[in-house]
Structure 1
Amino acid sequence: MTALPAPAVVAPAAGAKPKAASGPRAAGTASEARTRAAALVPDESLLVGPLNGYHHETYAFPLPADDGSGAQTWWKCRYPRAGLLRFDLRRFASEEALLGALQGRVTRIPVLVERRGISLYSFIEGRTLGEVCPLGTPLSRRHLNQLGGLFRELTSVDVDETGFAGSAGAGGLSAGREDDPAAFLTRLIGFTEYHVYRRHLPRYGSLFAELGVHGAALDRLRREAARLTPRPFTLVHGDLHRENFIVDADGDLWTIDWELAMVGDPLYDLATHLHLMGYPQKESERVTGLWCEAVESARPGASAGWERDLPVLLKYKQVQSVYTDVIRTALAPGQGQGQGRGPGPRLPARAPGRIREVLAAAAIPLELARVPTSRQVRTAYENWFMSQAPTTTSPATAP
């Protein structure tokens, strides 16, 4: 059994606990993930969870320090959710192994230990950046500096020491290290086209069509990708948004959820960050300048051609969001009464507005003839729900 390190995080204040995901829990027996987590604590009432998260079922709990002080440190364990659709290409076989390799190389990331063959992540006590700095609010100077430090450290990491083997990635797509941003983006476009769009077209084709979405945008992006500027490959987090940054009690920024990390074009990390953060234009320009300074100080040439290439990568992120969000929204609604059309899935109230926003953001690369209104988005989903509903035959007319 691996001894617990000196606490990287302190236990929450007396009586405080991590927050579990909101919403009703499914009735019935405990999930396998909860059962395995419960085996790690002397009392199942100590478990908090499941915590919010799409890819994993996560539980947090306190464990006593090994120094006999009686102090407790909060940890969490994560289990992949079964049956999830994967919308992003994975490059590292193990997030745990990557985090282990990054200890001492990247500042303020979770510590990992092993208990009973289960990897535990240190629970970073604090609030998400989304709570501290919501959409439309500029980052503080302190957080800007720490974000720049993260970009610099990512660029400085020796990728040969991260466990990246350059083997085939998800879907059989090559994940080799050619230090070629054009090939890198082409692989990502191919994954989105074949494993997100085309794979699900038989089921969701009518929904995409009613929303005005087709696959031609990916062909255009592929042509633009072929002209990207050569840049040295670096470690890329791949998912730097407000909920993957935790602000601790001292006001410092921690980076969590490294499962989408890759070795690839460093500009992709900036494009993903800008796309997910929704900065106002001036703040976007400030963060871009910060990124350029950070990566160039770590590896000269890492920002080469960014002025021409960043718009192409942003287009890809906008288009990718449309394909993934349209499908996720179709999968997300709870069961209940339909929107005036009888029983069936009910679309969450805010979902049409969110889908309209991602369509509007991608209107140019998608070449949308029009951006549907929120009402039209809702109607498209209702029509699709109706088309998926099982048909029933009246006993009076049954053959």
Structure 2
Amino acid sequence: MSPDTPSLARRHAIEACGDPGAVEGPLQGYHHETYVFPLGDEAGAPSPARWKCREPRAGLLWFDRRCFDSEEQLLTALSGRISSIPGVTEFGGLRLQRFIEGRTLGELRRSGLPVPGPLLRQVVGLFRELAGVRPETLVVKRRCEARDRPRDGDTNGFLDRLVSFAEENVYLSNLDAFAALFGELGVHEGVFESLRKHVSGLSERPFCLLHADLHRENLIVDPGQRLWTIDWELAMVGDPLYDLATHLYLMRYPEWQARRLTRHWVSTVEDVRPGSSEGWRRDLGLLMDFKKAQSVFTDVIRAALAPDPGQGTGRCRPEDAGRKLRRVLTGAAVPLGLTSVPAPDRIADALVRWRAEHGKAVDVLPG
């Protein structure tokens, strides 16, 4: 494609809008090339609603399982059941999501800072609504295989399928390129046996809908302080406590606020569907340990593929990556059964050697 030829996503946006000057984008993000625009018949309105269309970026590694066939189909099915999610419309054969005007929670309150009380209450309200969406009431086409759909309440089967995905689709499928690097970091195939033993024996809990990616950049605060939830692409059906564990892991709340949110979560989901928090005092830690272990495989690959600092802004130096990966490996040492963790300088040296042997870096998914 010529550098002057608009991409497919941009062509779709221009066709739907009718005015190339009103098309904004591409927006920042790695999974998709995304454009935002008013629809053609609304473009002249004083404050037109804006919509977004997107296409997956080519050449990216995908580290997370997709459960539903279409995010837009899921959002349509959730209309009226989950508050404050993007609406969906069809235009010229395209399914478009409503663009939520506002700022991400991450812009307003960076990772590690507490979330204001009114917004935190809306997070709890989201978990209430998710707990009320039972598997049998969600009629949406799914892309995951039958083996990835354990019976309702089989939390051990649910987590085992996530462990298997990390093992098969992230670790083993990339082993030809990354075996030496993983080996230098002390990570080998046997860690998955350790991980399965460590997280076994979960209590049964009734399944519900999970967002599975609730972090600060997927929560939008509009001008009226209403909290909206976007990016439902990784949503799945499964253990409600897993959604809480993922949220706590990604949000990096101060400890006191994480404890407060957990207490509210327990009382809320039990009110909606009794048994949803069964065994949470033990199991929440185990699910958090799984998230720590999972991040080892994705973060090592991303760090290896990250462009050199001289290739532009926002690049990660090997020394910085070494310190980050040291923290990640240390956090996952117990669930993965790691007997030792290399020092940051050794990790940085391993990354430099890998990059030298494997040539030019490529784009990677966000952390």
Moved more, 135-144 or 80-89: 80-89
Q: Partner residue of 1:395? A: none
User: Alpha-carbon deviation of 1:255?
Assistant: 0.4
**What is the root-mean-square deviation of aligned Cα atoms in Å?**
2.6
Aligned pairs for 1:167-182 (under 5 A) are 169=144, 173-182=147-156
Q: Which residue of structure 1 lines up, in the alignment, with residue 164 of structure 2?
A: 190
1:207–1:173 Cα change, 3 Å: farther
Contact 1:168 1:176 (8 Å CA) reproduced = no
2:365 corresponds to: none
TM-score, normalised to structure 2's length? 0.89
- For residue 388 of structure 1, the aligned residue among 352, 358, 362 is 358
Report the more deviating stretch, 135-144 or 297-306: 135-144
Residue of structure 2 equivalent to 1:113: 89
Residue 348 (structure 1) shift: 7.1
- Aligned partners of 1:168 and 1:174 also within 8 Å: no
Query: How far is 1:290 from its partner?
Result: 1.5
Residue 106 of structure 2 is aligned to residue 130 of structure 1: yes
Hey, what's the Cα distance between the residues in 2 that align with 1:353 and 1:265?
33
Which moved further from structure 2: 258-267 or 156-165? 156-165
In structure 2, the CA distance between the partners of 1:258 and 1:383, relative to structure 1 (3 Å rule), is same
Contact 1:92 1:98 in 2 (8 A): yes
What's the CA shift string for 1:10-29, capped at 9, x where partnerless? xxxxxxxxxxxxxxxx9554
Per the alignment, residue 336 of structure 2 pairs with 366
Deviation (angstroms), 1:214 = 2.4
Of 231-240 and 120-129, the range deviating more from structure 2 = 120-129
Deviations 1:17-72 (A, max 9, x none): xxxxxxxxx95543222222222222222221111223211111123666996541
SS in 2 for 1:202: helix
**Alignment gaps of 5+ in structure 2:** 361-367
Aligned pair count reads 357
1:85 is displaced (CA, Å) by: 2.1
1:379 corresponds in structure 2 to 349
Question: Quick one: distance in 2 between partners of 1:207 and 1:163?
Answer: 43
Measured after TM superposition, the shift of residue 271 of structure 1 is 0.7
Aligned equivalents of 2:151, 2:298: Cα separation in 1: 26
Q: Deviations over 1:192-221 (max 9, x none)?
A: 111111111111011111222223332122
Q: Distance in 2 between matches of 1:306 and 1:238?
A: 17
Q: Does 1:153 align with 2:123?
A: no
Aligned-residue identity in percent: 49
Does the 8 Å CA contact 1:92/1:163 hold for their aligned counterparts?
no
User: Could you tell me which residue of structure 1 aligns to residue 288 of structure 2?
Assistant: 314
Residue aligned with 1:59, SS? strand
What is the deviation of 1:334? 5.4
> Quick check: 1:260 aligned with 2:230?
no
Opposite residue 144 of structure 2, the aligned amino acid is G
Tell me the equivalent position of 2:264: 290
1:51 maps onto 2:27 in alignment: yes
Q: Deviations over 1:266-292 (max 9, x none)?
A: 011011011111122222211111211
Q: Match of 1:375, SS?
A: helix
* Structure-2 separation of matches of 1:68 and 1:59: 18
Query: 2:250 aligned to 272, 276, 296, which one?
Result: 276
Residues 37 and 209 of structure 1: is their aligned pair in 2 closer, same or farther, counting only changes over 3 Å? same
Indicate the residue corresponding to 2:211 in structure 1: 237
Distance 1:69 1:386 in 2: 54
Paired letter, 1:364: V
Decide whether aligned partners of structure 1 residues 368 and 117 sit closer, same or farther in structure 2, where only a CA change above 3 A counts: same
8 Å contact kept, 1:64–1:70? no
SS in 1 for 2:151: coil
Letter in 2 for 1:120: L
Give yes or no for the alignment of 1:355 onto 2:311: no
Whole-angstrom distance in 1 between the partners of 2:49 and 2:343: 49
2: CA distance, partners of 1:173 / 1:82: 28
Q: Which runs of 5+ in 1 are unaligned?
A: 1-25, 338-344, 391-399
1:385 and 1:88 map into 2 onto residues whose CA distance is 24
Residue in structure 1 matched with residue 364 of structure 2 by the alignment: none
Contact 1:64 1:71 in 2 (8 A): no
Partner of 1:248: 222
After the TM superposition, which of the residue ranges 152-161 and 142-151 deviates more from structure 2?
Answer: 152-161
Distance 1:63 1:164 in 2: 27
Q: 2:67 aligns with which of 79, 88, 91?
A: 91
Label 1:132 to 1:294 Cα distance change in 2 as closer, same or farther (>3 A): same
Tell me if the contact between 2:135 and 2:237 (Cα under 8 Å) persists in the aligned partners.
yes
CA distance in 1, matches of 2:104, 2:331: 25
Mapped partners of 1:284, 1:70: distance in 2: 42
SS across alignment from 2:80: coil
1:346 and 1:55 mapped to 2: Cα distance?
19
CA contact (8 A) 1:177 1:264 kept: no
CA contact (8 A) 1:65 1:72 kept: no
- Following the alignment from structure 1 to structure 2, what is the Cα–Cα distance between the partners of residues 228 and 176? 14
TM-score, length-scaled by structure 1: 0.82
Report the alpha carbon displacement of residue 302 of structure 1 after superposing the two structures with TM: 0.3
Q: Deviations over 1:237-276 (max 9, x none)?
A: 0000010000110111110000100010001101101111
Determine if contact 2:326/2:342 at 8 Å carries over to the other structure.
yes
Q: In structure 2, what residue type is equivalent to 1:108?
A: S
Deviates more, 1:223-232 or 1:100-109: 223-232
Which 10-residue stretch deviates more, 295-304 or 127-136? 127-136
Retained in 2: the 8 A contact 1:111–1:121?
yes
